[in-house]
Structure 1
Amino acid sequence: MDQMLNDAKSHHWNGVIYRTLLDGAGSGGAMSIVDSVSPPNSGPPRHVHDAEDEAFVILTGRCLFWLEGETFERGPGTAVFVPRGKEHTFQVIGDEPSRHLVILTPPGFENFFCEMAAGGFLIPQDMDAIEESAARHSLRFTGPPLGAEQGA
Structure 2
Amino acid sequence: MEIIEGAGTWSPPAGGATDWVEQLRTPDLSVGTYCVPAGGRDDQSPHTEDEIYVVTAGRAKIATPDRTAEVGPGAVIFVPAGEEHRFVDVTEDLTLLVVFGPAYGSRASEA
Give runs of ≥4 in structure 1 deviating > 4 Å: none
Change (3 A) 1:68 1:101: same
Q: Report if the CA contact (8 A) 1:38-1:92 is conserved.
A: no
Q: Write 1 or 2 for the structure with the bigger share of strand.
A: 2
Q: Tell me which of the two structures has the higher relative contact order, counting C-alpha pairs closer than 8 angstroms and 6 or more residues apart.
A: 2
In 1, Cα distance between the equivalents of 2:31 and 2:16?
A: 20
Q: Which SS does the other structure have where 2:35 is aligned? A: strand
Provide the aligned length of Structure 1 versus Structure 2: 103
Identical-residue share of aligned pairs (%): 27
In 1, Cα distance between the equivalents of 2:60 and 2:68?
A: 10
Matches within 5 A, 1:37-48: 37-45=35-43, 47-48=45-46
Q: Write 1 or 2 for the structure with the bigger share of helix.
A: 1
In 2, Cα distance between the equivalents of 1:87 and 1:19?
A: 21
Q: Which runs of 5+ in 1 are unaligned?
A: 6-10, 111-135, 141-152
RMSD over aligned Cα atoms: 2.9
Deviation at 1:46, TM superposition (A): 6.4
Deviations 1:101-129 (A, max 9, x none): 1111111339xxxxxxxxxxxxxxxxxxx
Structure whose alpha-carbon radius of gyration is higher: 1
Matches within 5 A, 1:1-152: 4=11, 12=14, 14-24=16-26, 29-45=27-43, 47-49=45-47, 51-91=48-88, 93-94=90-91, 96-109=92-105, 138=109
